[in-house]
Amino acid sequence: MAVSFATFERLKSKGVASYKDGDYRAAKAYLVDAAECMIELAESAKSTDAQRQHEEIAAELISLAKECDARKDGPKAARGRQREREDEGGGDASDWIVKDKPTVGFDDIAGLEDVKEEIRLMMIYPFAHPELAAKYGISTGGGILLYGPPGTGKTMLAKAIAHEIDATFFVISPAQLLSKWVGEAEQNVRKLFDAAKSEERSVIFIDEVDALVPRRKSDSSAVMQRVVPQILQELEGFDRKSDRALLFVGATNRPWLLDEAMLRPGRLDSKVYIGLPDPPARYRLLEIHFGHRPLDNDVDFGELCDRLEGYSGADIRNVAEQASQVPFLEAVAGKADRSITMKDIVTVIEANRPSVHASDLVRFEQFRQTGK
Ligand SMILES: Nc1ncnc2c1ncn2[C@@H]1O[C@H](COP(=O)(O)OP(=O)(O)OP(=O)(O)O)[C@@H](O)[C@H]1O
Ligand SMILES: [Mg+2]
């Protein structure tokens, strides 16, 4: 759902007005909604600076909402109170725990062969061969941080890991942590980990894990200060040799922002770089994203692979989608159906530069070498 600044402004001013009126229950509801709205706006922000500003505003609104909890409703409260929120007070864990059985597997992911093998060794073989793992003292699971430029398949890979070991997939999104969990964050984290531990196999995924780290000390809301250490302890506190398996996976495209505490042994201790696709991976991406579409005989994947150097998986998917629109729109306009031609595809490639810049890659290389 697309949100607008107008929606945000409306929610925020209602929240502030209720707050001034002493109607803290209504104020909290509006402020939390406004913060959620701002978090969505941050996600679609054009620049990282704008994104940071939006996140800061959201964090401020959240701390204001927290303050509402500490205050008793004033005399004017009843008048202003039109809204009751059923999720106030935390609700049932199943209301907000995102629990999923992903269907995407390693075969759906182009390239990254060495990454897949590393993950198999860490996370898949020990489950598939528990007797051998016990015999050789191989521990199961652990934490893995997937880092790399945007659109390279990190989120997809996290889901695929869960699929490959037939695990239940739990997602923690820091944006949710900042909004939905307000109020009873600690209990909710507890519930999430209890739910994960009650499954035979689960993967807990923290997407955009860098957002858990406040940029400056003063930015960190009370929620963050209490909940982040709690998550880290929970991550550390499970038994790696028990027959129930709990793995955790984090993903980020700004690994250098992460706190050392996040990367300590027992937490996200294996770091795996997810880079741009190499030529065979680009070929596979073309197969994946054009495979089910009608292609003209002149379409040459080999040549397209060369032209797509520097493009991410998400970029290549975008090229496939845009190129398919050309003949589709023609057909909609009444022309005869035709296949997608090499020219359609090349035109789209020329109009869309790669989303990842060379300077971004330099930054990742630095992190790979120095861990900073
Ligand atoms: N290696 C890949 N194989 C197949 N599809 C891919 C691959 N990489 C990216 N894609 C396509 O691009 C989409 C976006 O990828 P995904 O969301 O996993 O990227 P990401 O690395 O998590 O990006 P971000 O850092 O922006 O979160 C996927 O849904 C998929 O369609
Ligand atoms: Mg992602």
Q: Is residue 364 part of a domain?
A: no
If asked whether residues 255 and 112 sit together in one domain, one would say: yes
Whether 172 maps to a domain, the answer reads yes
Residue 166's CATH number: 3.40.50.300
Q: Supply the residue whose CA is at minimum distance from atom 26 of ligand 1.
A: 150
Atom of ligand 1 nearest to the CA of 111: 1
Regarding whether 243 and 102 lie in a shared domain, the answer is: yes
Nearest bound ligand to the CA of residue 206: 2
Euclidean distance between CA atoms 67 and 115, whole angstroms: 45
For ligand 1, atom 13, the nearest C-alpha belongs to 314
For ligand 2, the distance from its centroid to the CA atom of residue 171, given in whole angstroms, is 12
d(CA 25, CA 74): 10
Specify whether 239 is located in the same domain as 107: yes
pLDDT of residue 216: 56
Cα 251 to averaged position of ligand 2 atoms, centre (Å):
7
Which numbered atom of ligand 1 lies nearest the CA of 146?
21
- pLDDT for residue 147: 96
Could you tell me if 165 and 294 lie in one domain? no
Partner residues linked to 245 by β-bridges: 201
Residue 86 lies in a domain: no
Centre of ligand 2 from the C-alpha of residue 282, in Å: 19
pLDDT of residue 91: 44
pLDDT of residue 70: 73
Q: Which of 116, 171, 283, 317 to mutate to test the pocket of ligand 1 (most atoms within 8 A of CB)?
A: 317
Tens-binned pLDDT, residue by residue, of the chain (372 aa): 467 777 888 888 888 888 877 888 888 888 888 888 888 888 887 777 788 888 888 888 888 888 887 776 554 444 433 333 333 344 444 555 667 888 999 999 999 999 899 888 877 888 788 889 889 988 777 789 999 999 999 999 999 999 988 889 998 877 666 655 555 677 778 888 888 888 888 899 988 888 877 655 566 666 677 778 888 888 777 665 566 678 889 999 999 988 888 888 778 888 999 999 999 999 999 999 999 999 999 999 999 999 999 999 999 999 999 999 999 999 999 999 999 999 999 999 999 999 999 999 999 999 999 888
- Report the nearest-CA residue for atom 29 of ligand 1: 156
Give CA separation, 252 vs 101, 147, 149, 155, 271, in Å. Answer: 22, 5, 8, 9, 11
State how many domains the chain has. Answer: 3
- Residue 156 shares a structural domain with residue 180: yes
Do 246 and 284 fall within a single domain?
Answer: no
Phi, psi of 47 (to 5 degrees): -125, 160
Atom of ligand 1 nearest to the CA of 252: 25
Residue numbers of the domain that contains 195 = 93-273
Ligand 1 atom nearest the C-alpha of 277 is 1
What gap in Å lies between CA 195 and CA 282, rounded to an integer? Answer: 39
**Rounded distance from Cα 81 to ligand 2 centre (Å):** 39
Same domain as 143, residue 24: no
Residues 169 and 116 in one domain: yes
Q: Which residues pair with 295 in a beta bridge?
A: 340
Pairing of the two strands 168-172 and 201-206: parallel
pTM across the whole model:
0.74
Which residue CA neighbors atom 24 of ligand 1 most closely? 150
Domain assignment present for residue 367? The answer is no
User: In terms of domains, do 193 and 230 share one?
Assistant: yes
Per-residue confidence (pLDDT) for residue 278, from 0 to 100: 96
Decide if 360 is inside a domain: no
Q: What are phi and psi of 263, to 5 degrees?
A: -100, 5
150 C-alpha to ligand 2 centroid (Å):
7
User: From start to end of the chain, where are the E strands?
Assistant: 98-100, 143-147, 168-172, 201-206, 245-252, 270-273
- For residue 366, tell me if it sits in a domain: no
Q: Give residue 161 CA to ligand 1 midpoint distance, Å.
A: 14
Looking at the DSSP assignment, which residues form a beta bridge with residue 151? none
Residue 337 resides in a domain: yes
CA neighbor of 145 nearest in space, from 129, 130, 161: 161
- Return the CATH number at 308: 1.10.8.60
Domain stops at, among 247, 273, 299: 273
Which ligand is nearest to the Cα of residue 147, counting in written order? 1
Asked whether residue 258 falls in the same domain as residue 335, the answer is no
Asked if 267 and 294 sit in the same domain, the reply is: no
- The tokens for 266 are 């027992």
Task: List all residues whose CB is within 6 A of at least one atom of ligand 1.
Answer: 109-112, 150-156, 251, 253, 277, 285, 288, 313-314, 317
Same-domain check for residues 69 and 201: no
Task: Quote the ligand 2 centre to 149 CA distance (angstroms).
Answer: 9
* 371 domain residue, yes or no: no
What atom of ligand 1 comes closest to residue 109's alpha carbon?
3
